[in-house]
Structures are given as C-alpha cells and as structure tokens.
C-alpha cells in the first residue's frame, strides 16, 4: 500500500504545476487588462523605474525628457549629419523639425502685431519653434527638449542632466508643492513652462537677484571656456570667480537670448503658442520669450552656464542668418577648426578621435609582421596568405 500511495503523488505534480501556471497566466492577463483600460493616457510607470531614483531617467536616450527634437533648415544636410553623429555617439536620439524660410510664410499667417521690419530669418525662426511646440502638443509628451542644429555638448551629458534632475526635484525655488505625478514620473518637475539650456546672453531680474539656487557640478567648463557675458550674469547674482568656476546656477527666467537649447512642458508649449502666436508676436522668438517672462506671462528657469554651446566654424557655413553672411568665405577649416564654449569635454572634438579606426597599427599588434625571409620561405612552400 505504501508503494501504491506514492504513485498518485508523483502523477499529481504536473497537475499542480499546470494549475500554478494557469493561475499566473490569469494574473498577468488581469494586470495587462487593467493597464490597457486605465483612463490615464500617460504611459504607466513600471516598477523598474519606481525602484530607481527618478533622476536615473536622465541617462536615457532623451535625457529624461519625453523626446528631443532639433530644428534645421532642410538644405543644411551637413549640419543634420553632424547632429545625428554627435547624438549617436553620446547616447541620444534626436528628431528633425524642419526649419522655415520666413519668405514662405503667407502674409495671412504672420502673427498679428509682428513688427513690419522683422527680418524674414527671424520670422522663419519663430515659425520653426512654433512648429516644435505644436508637434509637442500633438504628441503624448509631458516634456520635450528643443535644440538648434549647430550645437556642441559634453561627452558626460547624461551625468550633467542626472545631476540637474536631482537638483530640480529638490528645487527650493518652487512656487507650488510637488504633485503626485511629478514625484512619480517627472525627472525635472513640471512646475515650469520652459527651461533655458543654451542661451548666449542672460540677466537676472534686477529686483530679485536673490532668487537662484546654485549647486556644485563635476562637469563644469573651465572658467576661461565660459561665455564672457554669462559670467557677468553670474556676477550680478553675487557669485565670486571661484563660485563661477565650480557651481551651476538655476534661476527664474528673466533675460535670456538665443534659443539654441531649451526644454518645454505641455503647459509651456500651450503658453508659448498662446502668447507668441495666437495673441501676436512682438519681437524675434527669443526676445519675446524673454520680454514675456519679464511681464510674468511665463514661468521659466535658466541654467548657467548652460550645458549646450554653439559649435563655431569659420566662414558663412557658420550661420543661416543672411545678415551675417556678407563678405565671408564659404568655409575656413570647417569642423576640423571648430570650437565651442561652455563645454568641458567636447563631444564634437572627441568624435574625431572616436571615429579613427587605427586599422594598420592594430593589425601590426595583433599579427606581428613576418620577416621577408619567412615570407619567401612560405611562398616556396606554396603557403600564401596569413596562416
Ligand atoms: C526617458 O525618460 C523619460 C522620463 O521618464 C520618458 O518620458 C522618456 O520616454 C524616456 N525616453 C526614452 C527614449 O526611453
Ligand atoms: C625574397 O624573394 C625575392 C624574390 O622572390 C627576393 O628579391 C628577395 O631578395 C628575397 N628576400 C629575402 C630576404 O630572401
């Protein structure tokens, strides 16, 4: 009997495994259905992200923003090649938003109150940025980073943004407490319209230069490689030369110029389309963003020094703004002679080293060259090729 009773136990084991598997499958099905039917259109946050700090998202291909786009005139395929290269070698994914020739904008599509004398290039620039804001609102994104096409950045860009994310999650300048959504899934918070990350000029609110937050950063550009005007801005906040060399400054947007790099939130894109299109346009896009920050229509932050800098090459290739193209050669030393400010370890400069395959030196190391005698000997034996 003892031998008999052990038989059903063994034969029952597959049944137990089958039932357990079925149970797990049903659980997965129920969980999947629940996710599918969730009313929130924003993608669910997986448990993998929950167990990591939010700032870890800055290490992903869009630096923790929903997406990265860049604006480039359709004919500047040279710059598009370059942007794709630099992005691909620094772990970033970028999407092209075509630039616009201001002359192609129909007179009826010009925003109301646009100054008569606004240059076509400035109008085209505004339109391309407006297209980017619109793209963001048409997509299911909470934040988006907008770049122009002549940029350089640091090889450690992910470290820089991870640190920025940590600081912004503990941002002492917040006007409202963090929402549950921000705590769950917004690496940079969502309490801003735009975040300036590539300005060429800036100034603090002269009445509120006490409003800033500074933090030490390991990837600070050498003080001699910071834009002169932006160092002056930091002096206006009261920073010493030593602090300017070691700290980044986060401050409410007041007087930035240049739209080389900035992030927007959905609310930011809505406000931008409202105040810089629907209600009219009073100046070139960067100036109008600055003016309407000063009048309180926008709530932005500026990072100083900004992590994105212009990649300068000589000649008229350097700019797509016709006003600067007079009497210059087409190109000097091109990208070989290029340089940038505000970047400690230039991704553009590293690119040249990275892309050199060093083929023949590597062959000589891996397969030491035979002597002529050895080669003759093997030829006599009819042995050709490397053996
Ligand atoms: C990067 O992280 C952000 C924030 O979690 C997310 O919205 C975005 O989709 C991620 N990007 C990629 C390419 O995974
Ligand atoms: C190898 O062979 C070539 C001709 O086949 C000859 O000219 C050369 O001197 C030889 N070299 C040696 C080191 O034997």
Q: What average pLDDT does the segment 40-65 reach?
A: 76
Cis ω on the peptide bond leading into residue 301 (within 30° of 0)? no
Residue 9, pLDDT score:
46
Nearest CA to ligand 1 atom 3: 64
Q: What is the pLDDT of residues 16-52, one digit of tens each?
A: 555 555 555 554 554 544 444 444 455 555 555 456 8
Given a cut of 90, whether residue 60 has pLDDT beyond it is yes
Given a cut of 60, whether residue 2 has pLDDT beyond it is no
Q: Which helix (H) or strand (E) holds 145?
A: strand 143-148
In the chain, domain spans: 54-328+338-348
The DSSP bridge partners found for residue 303 are 250
The distance from CA 46 to its chain's CA centroid, rounded to whole angstroms, is: 23
Q: How confident is the model at residue 322 (pLDDT cuts 50, 70, 90)?
A: low
Measured in angstroms, how far is the CA atom of residue 373 from the centroid of ligand 2? 7
Structure tokens, 319: 């700019």
Q: At what angle do helices 120-138 and 266-273 cross, to 10 degrees?
A: 140
Q: What average pLDDT does the segment 319-326 reach?
A: 62
Tell whether domain 54-328+338-348 is in CATH 3.90.550.
yes
Residue 38, pLDDT score:
45
CA distance 73 to 321: 11
Residue 332, pLDDT score:
75
Ligand 2 atom index nearest CA of 376: 1
Residues whose CB is less than 8 angstroms from the CB of residue 37 and which lie 6 or more positions away in sequence, other chains included: none
Contact predicate 122/102, CB 8 Å: yes
Angstrom distances, CA of residue 300 to CA of 122, 252, 254, 268: 22, 6, 8, 9
More confident residue, 320 or 136: 136
Structure tokens, 374: 């050895």
Best residue among 42, 65, 181, 190 to mutate for probing ligand 1's pocket (most ligand atoms within 8 Å of CB) is: 65
Ligand nearest to the CA of 376: 2
Contact predicate 80/71, CB 8 Å: no
Residue 333, pLDDT score:
83
Nearest CA to ligand 2 atom 2: 376
Contact predicate 337/313, CB 8 Å: yes
Q: In what order do the strands lie in the sheet with 339-340?
A: 151-152, 309-312, 339-340
Nearest CA to ligand 2 atom 7: 376
Place of tokens 């350097």: 318
Angstrom distances, CA of residue 329 to CA of 150, 308, 317, 334: 18, 27, 9, 11
Ligand 1 atom index nearest CA of 141: 7
Give the sign of the dihedral formed by CA 114, CA 230, CA 248, CA 306: positive
Q: What is the pLDDT of residues 250-277, one digit of tens each?
A: 999 999 999 999 999 999 999 999 999 9
Residue 387, pLDDT score:
67
Residue 386, pLDDT score:
76
DSSP structure class, residue 117: T
Q: Report pTM.
A: 0.83
- Could you give the angle at the alpha carbon of 151 between the alpha carbons of 62 and 84, nearest 5°? 55
Measured in angstroms, how far is the CA atom of residue 381 from the centroid of ligand 2? 14
Measured in angstroms, how far is the CA atom of residue 271 from the centroid of ligand 1? 23
More confident residue, 140 or 152: 152
Q: What is the pLDDT of residues 215-236, one digit of tens each?
A: 999 999 999 999 999 999 999 9
More confident residue, 157 or 379: 157
Nearest CA to ligand 1 atom 13: 61
Residue 300, pLDDT score:
98
DSSP structure class, residue 369: P
Residue 109, pLDDT score:
97
Given a cut of 60, whether residue 173 has pLDDT beyond it is yes
Mean pLDDT (the chain) is 89
Q: How confident is the model at residue 7 (pLDDT cuts 50, 70, 90)?
A: very low
Best residue among 374, 376, 379, 382 to mutate for probing ligand 2's pocket (most ligand atoms within 8 Å of CB) is: 376
Measured in angstroms, how far is the CA atom of residue 374 from the centroid of ligand 2? 10
Measured in angstroms, how far is the CA atom of residue 66 from the centroid of ligand 1? 5
Report DSSP letters for 284-353, one per residue: -HHHHHHHHHHTTS--EEEEES-S-EEEE-SSGGG-S-GGG-TT--S-SSGGGG-EESS-SSBHHHHHHH
Q: How confident is the model at residue 6 (pLDDT cuts 50, 70, 90)?
A: very low
Question: What residues does ligand 1 touch, defined as CB less than 6 Å away?
Answer: 57, 60-62, 64, 66, 93, 185, 187
Residues whose CB is less than 8 angstroms from the CB of residue 250 and which lie 6 or more positions away in sequence, other chains included: 164, 167, 168, 171, 173, 212, 213, 214, 215, 301, 302, 303, 304
Q: Is 144 helix (H, G, I), strand (E, B) or coil?
A: strand
CA distance 195 to 230: 16
Ligand nearest to the CA of 165: 1
- Could you give the angle at the alpha carbon of 67 between the alpha carbons of 270 and 273, nearest 5°? 15
């Amino acid at each position: 009997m003892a031998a008999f009773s052990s038989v059903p136990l063994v034969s029952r084991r597959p049944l137990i495994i089958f039932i357990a598997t079925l149970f797990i499958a049903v659980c997965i099905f129920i969980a999947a259905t629940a996710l599918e039917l969730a009313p929130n259109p924003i993608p669910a946050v997986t448990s993998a992200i929950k167990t990591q700090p939010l700032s870890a998202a800055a290490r992903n291909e869009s630096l923790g923003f929903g997406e990265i786009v860049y604006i480039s005139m359709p004919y500047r395929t040279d710059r598009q090649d370059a942007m794709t290269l630099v992005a691909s070698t620094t772990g970033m994914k970028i999407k092209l938003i075509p630039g616009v020739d201001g002359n192609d904008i129909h007179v009826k599509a010009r925003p109301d109150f646009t100054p008569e004398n606004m240059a076509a290039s400035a109008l085209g620039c505004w339109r391309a940025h407006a297209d980017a804001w619109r793209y963001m609102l048409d997509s299911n994104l909470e934040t988006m980073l907008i770049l122009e096409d002549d940029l350089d950045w640091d090889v450690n860009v992910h470290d820089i943004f991870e640190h920025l994310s940590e600081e912004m999650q503990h941002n002492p300048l917040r006007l409202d407490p963090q929402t549950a959504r921000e705590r769950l899934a917004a690496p940079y918070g969502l309490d801003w319209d735009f975040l300036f990350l590539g300005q060429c000029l800036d100034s603090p609110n002269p009445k509120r230069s006490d409003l800033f937050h500074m933090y030490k950063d390991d990837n600070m550009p050498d003080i001699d490689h910071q834009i002169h005007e932006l160092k002056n801005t930091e002096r206006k906040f009261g920073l010493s030369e030593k602090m300017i060399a070691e700290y980044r400054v986060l401050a409410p947007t007041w007087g930035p110029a240049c739209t080389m790099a900035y992030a927007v939130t959905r609310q930011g894109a809505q406000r931008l389309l409202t105040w810089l299109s629907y209600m009219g346009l009073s100046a070139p896009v960067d100036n109008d963003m600055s003016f309407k920050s000063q009048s309180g229509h926008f709530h932005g932050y500026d990072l100083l020094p900004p992590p994105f800098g212009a990649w300068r090459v000589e000649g008229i290739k350097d700019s797509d703004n016709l006003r600067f193209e007079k009497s210059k050669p087409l190109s000097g030393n091109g990208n070989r002679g290029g340089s940038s400010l505000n970047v400690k370890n230039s991704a553009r400069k590293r690119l040249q080293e990275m892309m050199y395959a060093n083929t023949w030196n590597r062959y000589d190391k891996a397969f030491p060259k035979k002597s002529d005698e050895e080669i003759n000997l093997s030829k006599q034996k009819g042995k050709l090729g490397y053996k």
